[in-house]
Amino acid sequence: MKTKVTFSLAFLIVIAVVIISCKKDNNTSDDSTNYSDTPVLPANPENYRASSNDNLATLGRVLFYDKNLSLNNSVSCASCHQQSKAFCDNLQFSVGLENVKTPRNSPSIFGKQGRVFWDGRANSMLDLSLRPVKNHVEMRFENLDALAQKISKTSYYPELFKKAFGVNAEIDSIRIQMALSEFLKNFDFSNNKFARSEKGEESLNASEQLGKNLFFGKARCSNCHHVESNRNVPFGDSLGFGGGGYGFTDESHNIGLDEVYTDNGVGAVSNRLEDNGAFMVPALLNVEYTAPYMHDGRFKTLEEVVEHYNSGVKNHPNLDVFLRNIDLNMSDVELSIFITKLDVNQNGMLESSELAGLEPVRLGLTAAEKRGLVDFLKTLSDPGIFRERKFSNPFAVK
Ligand code: HEC
Ligand code: HEC
């Protein structure tokens, strides 16, 4: 009897140690596989749908996973955008060089058109792609010429640059930037239940359907989150309408998270008072996997997010009109007449003075309706995001 107890106690301790060490691992590195110093790539490049130059996207993939892009070789893009976590890190704030935290939550990556980052400070993926490298908290490689020199000395980049840019191409920061952004624009994980249901290949269950009706109807989510079923445009047209089951992403709104924001988001970049507390609208694809939520990761679950829209919207002067107490049953035509009337100075924008009388919305959703919204959001999940090899770490060896 006695031996049995000690045995199981020892067993428990072993289990506990295993659990604790796993936890630690999950917080600090992309996964627990081994890493080689050189990338392992297929003989022929994978097919990247949004790219006409697959070798360029492949080079971008290698750069994305390469810790050489940080000043002390400790951080890669994938440290905070981990494939095993749907290209975010599931932390409220990310951890950069020397364990310093980022001021905002790391979003998943989607090949958005138009402005990116929570505050829209980059005008495109190309404009974005070297900023994390230079960023003091994230990777701190400010001298981009030195970075280009550093990576020219590796065994693998000269060949990868030749394949991507031609034999005489130099390794420089502009080409690094181009390759990274070429990889980023391919991020589109939208093989989801919603898309299949729109094509008639699968049906939503009753709760998901209820949520869908609310999302596109009374709850007005689709006024800002342009989840689209029409996938005829494969990868974005010149107007900035993306493909991949998602529409326009180049817009920002104030959703009344606070009455006074500590982070003014778009307002801090544009220096316009009416942008204070506005943030870029996140793409909701795979949102089930990317908790916590919002620019500051304040909500831990989708239920908390839905409750914010249902009952928690605060009366910020810049609160968007769609989150104010307007008749929820107006048709689109009635709504545009209503908005035209609100726009007293007729400048095509609603200023805080024109919105002042309208209280924050109180949707008054039932428990079943709230559950429906959450269930609908989960129909935007594509588990392929965790598996697709052409987005995986080429330095990982199994
Ligand atoms: C230390 C963690 C960290 C590292 C390293 C990092 N990121 Fe990020 N990333 C973030 C955070 C945090 C944000 C949100 C910042 C903001 O919007 O102000 C972000 C935002 C982004 C976005 C914008 C997404 C959107 O929809 O607006 C993209 C794309 C991105 N990162 C790509 C990269 C690339 C490429 C690299 C490597 C060159 C990289 N990141 C390195 C944490 C990190
Ligand atoms: C007025 C425009 C607007 C409306 C209406 C709106 N949203 Fe949002 N949503 C945003 C913006 C902007 C953010 C990011 C805000 C921030 O981080 O400060 C956001 C964030 C979210 C997030 C968090 C995503 C993430 O990656 O962190 C979810 C989930 C979400 N919204 C779902 C919904 C649902 C469900 C509805 C309808 C009940 C809705 N939204 C209505 C603009 C809107």
Amino acid symbol at 129: S
70 lines ligand 1 (CB under 6 A): no
How many whole angstroms separate alpha carbon 134 and alpha carbon 353?
40
**Alpha carbon distance 355, 319 (integer Å):** 8
CA distance 163 to 157: 10
Is the sign of the CA dihedral 286, 325, 280, 103 positive or negative?
negative
Q: Name which of 171, 183, 152 is nearest 62 in CA terms.
A: 183
Residue among 216, 224, 262, 298 whose CB has most ligand 2 atoms within 8 A, to mutate: 224
pLDDT tens for each residue of 25-51: 333 445 568 889 999 999 999 999 999
Cβ of 113 less than 6 Å from ligand 1: no
Instruction: Identify the pLDDT of residue 91.
Output: 96
Closest CA to 93 of 107, 103, 79, 82: 103
CA of 281 to the centre of ligand 2 (A): 7
CA count, 13 A, side-chain hemisphere, 42: 12
Per-residue tokens: 159: 């060949």
- pLDDT given for residue 22 in this prediction: 39
Q: How distant, in Å, are the alpha carbons of 64, 106, 133, 147, 392 from that of 69?
A: 8, 18, 6, 7, 17
CA distance 277 to 172: 37
Asked if 289 contacts 86 with a C-beta cutoff of 8 angstroms, the reply is yes
- Spatial CB neighbours of 276, under 8 Å, sequence gap ≥ 6: 254, 261, 264, 265, 267, 268, 318
Q: What is the pLDDT of residues 277-330, one digit of tens each?
A: 999 999 999 999 999 999 999 999 999 999 999 999 999 999 999 999 998 788
Given a cut of 90, is residue 98 above it in pLDDT?
Answer: no
The pLDDT value given to residue 235: 45
Residue 14 confidence class, pLDDT cut points 50, 70, 90: very low
- Mean pLDDT for the chain? 89
Q: What is the pLDDT of residues 121-153, one digit of tens each?
A: 999 999 999 999 999 889 999 999 999 999 999
- Ligand 2 pocket (Cβ < 6 Å) reads 107, 219-221, 223-225, 253, 255, 257, 279, 281-282, 284, 287, 290, 293-295, 302, 305-306, 309, 320, 322-323, 373, 377
CA-closest candidate to residue 28, choices 92, 75, 77, 83:
75
> For residue 317, is the peptide bond before it cis, meaning its omega torsion is within 30 degrees of 0?
no
Answer whether 258's CB lies under 8 Å from 316's CB: yes
| Nearest residue to 129 (alpha-carbon basis) of 83, 61, 190 | 61
Is the distance from CB of 134 to CB of 120 less than 8 angstroms? no
Per-residue pLDDT, 256: 98
Query: What number does the ligand 2 atom closest to the CA of 376 have?
Result: 35
2 phi/psi in degrees, rounded to 5: -60, -45
Q: What single letter denotes the amino acid at residue 252?
A: S
Taking the CA of residue 280 as reference, the ligand 1 atom at the shortest distance is 27
Q: Which amino acid, 230?
A: N
255: left (phi over 0), alpha (psi -120 to 50) or beta: alpha
Task: Of 229, 265, 256, 280, give the one whose Cα is nearest residue 363.
Answer: 256
Res. 358: pLDDT tops 60? yes
